[in-house]
Every structure is written in C-alpha cells, then in structure tokens.
Amino acid sequence: MLRFGTDGVRGRAYEELRPVDVIRLAQATAEVIAPTGPVIIGRDTRASSPDFAEALITGFSAVGVPTLDMGVAPTPAVAWAAAREHSPGAMVSASHNPWHDNGVKLFGPGGRKLGDEVQAALESVLADPDRGWAPDTAGPRLTTDASALVRVYQTAVAATADFDGQGLRVVVDAAHGSATAALPGPLQAHGVAVTVINADPDGRNINSQCGSTYPEAVAEAVSEQGADLGLTFDGDADRVLAVDHRGDLVDGDQIIAICAADRHRQGRLPGNTVVVTVMTNLGFHRAMAQQGINVVTTPVGDRHVWAALQDGDWALGGEQSGHVIFPALATTGDGLVTALQLLEVVARRGLPLRDLATEAMTKMPQVLYNATVGPDPIDEDRLSAAVAAAEQVLGSHGRVLVRPSGTEPVIRIMVEAETSEIAESVATNVAAAINR
C-alpha cells in the first residue's frame, strides 16, 4: 500500500512503486480533492517518468477528470501552473534520489502541497480493497498538451527578481533533470552570463555525480571557467545550492541567512522572523539571534515550513538542503526563484558570494550519517542509550538529531559540535548502535 513520506510517495520504480499504484493514486486524488477542472501533470527526466505520467493521466481519465500535460518540467512549475489554473497538480519525480527510484508529489488547487489530513484521507482510500480501477474499463484519454506553460513559467520566474546581472558569470548545474526544461532563460533575462552543465538527460544520469547531491561538479566548472559563482539544482529543480568563486559550498542555511539578513536590513522581513527545520545548523540560530531575527523551527519537509509561514504571515523559510520558500513569490520551494533572489543580493551588494556567506553566519561543524535500515528491528533501548551518551558529551555546545528518512530506507543522524572531530566521534557511536 502507498504511504506518504516527507514529500509525496516514492519508491523503486516498477517494484515498490508500479504504474497501477499510480493509477489508483490518481483515482484516490480525484475522489478526495474532487477537482473542478483539469489536473496539471509534470515529470522529470527519469527513464520511468513517462510511464508514471501516463499512469496519472490514465487514472484521472478513467474517472472523468481531464489533465494538462506539461511534459518535462520543474516541480515548482507544476505548482505555479496549479496556482495559475486554480487546479490540483501532480509531479512525477523522486527528487534527489537515483534514476531507478520514482515518485509522485501532489499539489492541491492553488499549488500548495497537501496537508497531513488530506494525505491521511488519500491513504484511507488507497487502503480500501473495494476501490480500484480495472484496465479493461478504460475510457477515453482526457489530456491536453500544456508544454507551452513551461515557457510562461520561465517568464513568471524571471519577473520575481529585479536586478542588473551584467558582469556576473555563473555556472549552473541542471543535474540532467527538470531544470534542463527551464534554463538558462530566467537568469539571462537579468543579463547574467550563464554556462549550463549537465543538461543532457538520458533517463539514467539524473543526479548522477551532478546536481545538488554532488556540488563538486559545479565547483570544478566554476574553477575551470573563473566564474563568480555556481548554482546546482536537484533532479526536479525545487531546491538549489550554491558554490562561491573558490568552489566552496554555500548551502541552504547560508542562502536563507543571506536573504534573511538582506531583507531585515531593508525592512522587508515581516515579524523579523524566518522559518527553518530541525536540521538547520546551530550557527544559523546564533547568527539570527545576533541580528535580532526570530527563528521558528519545524519538522523536516518544506510543506511544514510552508504551513508555519502561512500561520505567521512570514516571508522567508526553508531547509539546509536548498528548499527555500518565498511565499510572496511561489507556493512551494522553487530552485529558480531562490537562485534569482540570491543573485539579486549579490548584484545589489556588489560583494562576492563568499563574503556574503561569511558575513551571514558561521557554520558549526556538522556531521550527517545515513544508517541503512536492515531487515532486523532496531534495538530502541541501545539507540536511546547511545543518544543519551551523545547528548552528555555535547552538553550545551552541540546537539544530536536522529530521525527516519521520509524518502529513503535509512535512519538519518545529524551531530553538531564545537569541532569536527567531536561531531564525527559522536555520530559514529550513534550509527554503531543502529547498525548492530
């Protein structure tokens, strides 16, 4: 049975997630959301994505719901189109995962990710064996080519920023993914000189030694070309990370810190508040406190960040991974919007990205481990004891966070400490408790 994780449903294509599952998901979505117009469909560049997009179209068509098929598009483009058309949206993607995985991200009418209550209702419908669609009862295929919307989206994204990027040389890594459908137009619209790398998807190379999970690729290109900075997207382009002119990573925490401080100085940060997740570096919290900026913390997942932003009527939030949300500009994390907002600060301040990142915050050493979950149950007592011992070692000068991944079969361990050596030692001990 399909279960929603941190960001939609996801699994190994044709094994953990099959086209028939996606057909049923489409039908459940039609029942729970009851769309009054067509559903917007988009996909990334994985080999399996055309099959799963077709499964969505088939499932919706079978219950009389038409679709608008954007083809290959960034996830935020689907959200933008859903908001524009006042319709639900469905994106076929497994984001930063390898090519052999796939998934579906759903948006309600208005382009916002589904809340917990709606996801629970969908799971309930999917768990009912009496609900289902038989392939031999398929009706007409109710879909329209909407690929032109991707071009309109590029224009809309370009309009979210206002700066003169003449003289800025930027390398952009498209991760052989959805960003290939939207680059380099929005950046070039501001006069930025753009070189795009890893923009030749073959179905299997998405996120492979490129993109936001492998910033070394864009760092190398920036060094070779003597560029001012680099931007690197994930497979569906809803997140972006950066590298400075020396190739050093500027992660989501630093991007948010740069933008928060800049907006704070201009009086454009409502409530002097920014929203982040539990994974955000302690250095971020310290930097914001020094500037009088409040920090609200949520669970991992940009939909949680969005919910907090809406509740507080705040203007900026996001995740260390590069999911950044500007509610006035987009209904979800949008890598292209974030890239433009960052470039706007760089252009206006006239400083190298490296200087802006150093000015914005000092990162505490942080170690991230992924402990693979095996067939045997985890010894919860042993893990609790290991976490307690870690907290005693760290005291008030660090922290440890252990949580199951919402997108992969792993336990994520995050440790922050005053030194990298302490963080590594503590994380190793906690991982050992899981791996035993």
**What confidence score (pLDDT) does residue 406 get?**
66
One domain for residues 234 and 258: no
**What confidence score (pLDDT) does residue 366 get?**
82
Does residue 431 surpass a pLDDT of 90?
A: no
One domain for residues 138 and 14: yes
One domain for residues 135 and 20: yes
Q: Indicate the pLDDT class of residue 336, thresholds 50, 70 and 90.
A: very high
One domain for residues 240 and 326: no
Q: What is the token pair recorded at 189?
A: 């619209």
* 204: nearest Cα among 424, 44, 312, 40: 44
Q: Indicate the pLDDT class of residue 389, thresholds 50, 70 and 90.
A: confident
| Residue 110 included in any domain | yes
Q: What is the pLDDT of residues 302-326, one digit of tens each?
A: 889 999 999 999 999 999 999 999 9
One domain for residues 142 and 13: yes
Treating both helix axes as pointing N-terminal to C-terminal, what angle do 148-158 and 335-349 enclose, rounded to 10 degrees? 30
Per-residue pLDDT, averaged over 388-400, amounts to: 83
Reply yes or no: is the peptide bond before residue 365 cis, omega within 30 of 0.
no
One domain for residues 122 and 174: no
Domain termination residue (choose one: 222, 248, 274): 248
Domain termination residue (choose one: 106, 124, 146): 146
Q: DSSP class of residue 109?
A: T
* 301: nearest Cα among 264, 338, 276: 276
One domain for residues 254 and 268: yes
SS3 of residue 274 by DSSP: strand
Q: What is the pLDDT of residues 196-238, one digit of tens each?
A: 999 999 999 999 999 999 999 999 999 999 999 999 999 999 9
One domain for residues 188 and 224: yes
* 80: nearest Cα among 135, 139, 153, 145: 153
User: Percentage of residues in the chain with pLDDT exceeding 70?
Assistant: 96
Treating both helix axes as pointing N-terminal to C-terminal, what angle do 353-360 and 252-266 enclose, rounded to 10 degrees? 80
Give the global pTM: 0.90
Phi/psi of residue 261, each to 5°? Answer: -65, -40
Go through the chain and tell me how many residues it has. Answer: 436
Q: Please, how many CA atoms are within 13 Å of residue 310, restricted to the half-sphere of its CB?
A: 12
Does residue 395 surpass a pLDDT of 90?
A: no
Q: What is the pLDDT of residues 87-146, one digit of tens each?
A: 999 999 999 999 999 999 999 998 999 988 999 999 999 998 877 655 545 678 899 999
**What confidence score (pLDDT) does residue 436 get?**
64
| Residue 296 included in any domain | yes
Domain termination residue (choose one: 248, 275, 296): 248
One domain for residues 164 and 244: yes
| Residue 137 included in any domain | yes
Q: Indicate the pLDDT class of residue 192, thresholds 50, 70 and 90.
A: very high
| Residue 234 included in any domain | yes
Instruction: Give CA separation, 128 vs 26, 105, 123, 131, 414, in Å.
Output: 15, 21, 9, 6, 38
**What confidence score (pLDDT) does residue 147 get?**
97
Does residue 46 surpass a pLDDT of 90?
A: yes
**What confidence score (pLDDT) does residue 135 get?**
54
Higher pLDDT, 436 or 122: 122
| Residue 4 included in any domain | no
Higher pLDDT, 226 or 384: 226
| Residue 1 included in any domain | no
| Residue 195 included in any domain | yes
Euclidean distance between CA atoms 15 and 5, whole angstroms:
17
Q: What is the pLDDT of residues 357-373, one digit of tens each?
A: 999 999 988 888 887 76
Buried b (16+ CB within 10 A) or exposed e, 149-158: bbeebbebbb
One domain for residues 256 and 244: no
Q: Is 102 exposed, middle or buried (0-12, 13-18, 19+ CB in 10 A)?
A: buried
Helix (H) and strand (E) counts for the chain? 14, 18
One domain for residues 243 and 226: yes
Domain of residue 308, CATH code: 3.40.120.10
Higher pLDDT, 131 or 345: 345
User: Percentage of residues in the chain with pLDDT exceeding 90?
Assistant: 75
Range of the domain at 132: 9-146
Does residue 387 surpass a pLDDT of 90?
A: no
| Residue 321 included in any domain | yes
Q: Which residues are catalytic?
A: 95
Domain of residue 378, CATH code: 3.30.310.50
Q: What is the pLDDT of residues 238-271, one digit of tens each?
A: 999 999 999 999 999 999 999 999 999 999 999 9
Q: Is 319 exposed, middle or buried (0-12, 13-18, 19+ CB in 10 A)?
A: buried
Instruction: Give CA separation, 173 vs 17, 96, 154, 184, in Å.
Output: 28, 13, 17, 10
For 290, other C-beta atoms within 10 Å of its C-beta total 9
One domain for residues 14 and 141: yes
Does residue 278 surpass a pLDDT of 60?
A: yes
**What confidence score (pLDDT) does residue 417 get?**
86
To the nearest whole number, what is the mean pLDDT of the chain? 92
**What confidence score (pLDDT) does residue 134 get?**
55
How many domains does the structure of the chain reveal? Answer: 4
Does residue 400 surpass a pLDDT of 90?
A: no
